Chains A and B, each alone.
Chain A
Amino acid sequence: MESRYERNIPALSEAECTILKEKRVLVVGCGGLGGHLIDMLARIGIGAIRAVDSDVFEASNLNRQLLCEVPLLGVSKAQAAAERVRRVNPEVDVEAIVTLLTEDNVRTLLKGFDAVLDGLDNIQSRKILAKACSEAGIPCIYGAVSGWVCQAAVSMPGDHLIDLLYPEEATLKDKSVLSFTPSMCASMQISLCVKLLVGRPVETGTLYYFDLLHQEFETIPMV
C-alpha cells in the first residue's frame, strides 16, 4: 500500500482501496456540495472523476464553496475542480465538462460511470439527473442543503426518490447556505458512495436529514 493511502487502512481494506481505484464517478455541480465531493473523492483514491458545471465562481460563493478563492473569481468551477484534483491526487483521472446539465446531454454525460453524485442546486436539474440515472441503471447519491439544514440519500434505479422529495408544487424558499452545511452533506454522500462502490451494505431510499441549528438528525424511510 502506497503511503498516500496508509491512513485509509484499516477503515478500508487494501482490497477495497483497490476497488475504489477502478471506479468512475460523475459529479454534477461543482459548487458548495460539489467542491467537497470532488475533494473527498480525490483524497480517498477514486479512479476517475468527471466534474460537470457551467458556472464560474462569484463573490457570493466565497462563504461556503471550498474551491472558491478570491484569485479564482470568474474561473470555471468545473475546471477549478479538475485542477484541485490534479494537485491533491495526480493518480485520479479527472475531466472537467463546462456545460449545463440538460435533458439532451445527460445520457452522454453519465455513460460509463459507476455512480453519480448530485451536487446540483435546483429541483428541475435534480429531476433530469435522477430520471436519467434511473433509465441508465446507475445509482445516484443525492444531497441538498439549505441554511443550517442538509439531507442525503442513495437513490437506486426505479425508486423515484427525487419525485417523493420534491412534489410538483415544491419551491425553494430559503436560498441561504452556511459554510459548514455543505461539508456535512458531502461527507454523508461520500460515505454512502464509498460503501456502495466497495460493495458494503448500504441503506437505499432512506433520507438522512441533519438540522445543524437544533442538532437534530432524522433517518426517514422514503421508499
Chain B
Amino acid sequence: MIEVRLFATLREGRGKIQMLNASEFACAGDIIRHLDIPTEEVAILLINGFHQKPETPVKDGDIVALFPPVGGG
C-alpha cells in the first residue's frame, strides 16, 4: 500500500489520509490524477519526506505527501 497524506485545502472532499494499492500507480503523478487534484493545485510533492517530481516512481510502502500552493502575504 501507499499512504497518501493530504494537506490544507487538498483535504476538502478527500480526507486527510488515503491508503492506495501500490500496484495501480507507476508514479506520483498517477496518484495525483487518481485523486482528481488539478496539477496547478499541487505545489509540494514529498515521497518519504523528500521533495520529488510527479514523474518520480512510487512503490509499496511509500508515503506520499501533497501540499497546495501557499502564496499570500
Q: Once the chains bind, are A33 and B50 in contact (CB under 8 Å)?
A: no
Q: Considering the complex, give the chain A residue whose CB is closest to the CB of B67.
A: A209
What is the minimal beta-carbon distance from A100 to any residue of chain B, in angstroms? 14
Q: Once the chains bind, are B71 and A172 in contact (CB under 8 Å)?
A: yes
Question: Taking chain B's interface residues, is the majority helix, strand, or loop, or is none over half, making it mixed?
Answer: mixed
Q: Once the chains bind, are A173 and B69 in contact (CB under 8 Å)?
A: yes
Which residues does chain A contribute within 8 Å of B49, judged by CB atoms?
220-221
What is the minimal beta-carbon distance from A34 to any residue of chain B, in angstroms? 7
Which residues does chain A contribute within 8 Å of B70, judged by CB atoms?
144-146, 149-151
A198 to B7, CA, bound (A): 34
Q: Considering the complex, give the chain A residue whose CB is closest to the CB of B68.
A: A173
The answer to whether the Cβ of A211 comes within 8 Å of any Cβ in the partner chain is: yes
A166 to B43, CA, bound (A): 6
Which residues does chain A contribute within 8 Å of B7, judged by CB atoms?
149, 209, 211, 216, 218
The answer to whether the Cβ of B39 comes within 8 Å of any Cβ in the partner chain is: yes
Q: Considering the complex, give the chain B residue whose CB is closest to the CB of A175.
A: B72
Interface stretch of the complex, out of A18-26, A84-92, A117-125 = A117-125
A39 to B72, CA, bound (A): 19
Known: A165-B44, A166-B43. A222 touches B51 (CB 8 A): yes
The answer to whether the Cβ of B1 comes within 8 Å of any Cβ in the partner chain is: no
Which residues does chain A contribute within 8 Å of B16, judged by CB atoms?
214
What is the minimal beta-carbon distance from A110 to any residue of chain B, in angstroms? 17
Q: Once the chains bind, are B72 and A169 in contact (CB under 8 Å)?
A: no
Which residues does chain B contribute within 8 Å of A11, judged by CB atoms?
none
* A interface bracket (residues with beta carbon within 8 Å of B): 35 or more
The answer to whether the Cβ of B46 comes within 8 Å of any Cβ in the partner chain is: yes
Q: Considering the complex, give the chain B residue whose CB is closest to the CB of A121.
A: B73
A220 to B68, CA, bound (A): 14
* B interface bracket (residues with beta carbon within 8 Å of A): 20 to 34
The answer to whether the Cβ of A32 comes within 8 Å of any Cβ in the partner chain is: yes
Which residues does chain A contribute within 8 Å of B68, judged by CB atoms?
146, 173-174
A173 to B67, CA, bound (A): 12
Q: Once the chains bind, are B73 and A149 in contact (CB under 8 Å)?
A: no
The answer to whether the Cβ of A62 comes within 8 Å of any Cβ in the partner chain is: no
The answer to whether the Cβ of A170 comes within 8 Å of any Cβ in the partner chain is: yes
Interface string of A124-162 (1 = CB under 8 A from B): 001000000000000000011111111100000000000
Which residues does chain B contribute within 8 Å of A175, judged by CB atoms?
72
Known: A146-B8, A211-B8. A221 touches B51 (CB 8 A): yes
A151 to B67, CA, bound (A): 11
Q: Considering the complex, give the chain B residue whose CB is closest to the CB of A223.
A: B51
A-B contact pairs, 20 of them (CB 8 A): A31-B73, A32-B73, A121-B71, A121-B72, A121-B73, A126-B71, A145-B72, A146-B8, A146-B68, A147-B9, A150-B70, A164-B51, A166-B43, A166-B69, A172-B71, A173-B69, A209-B67, A218-B7, A220-B46, A221-B50
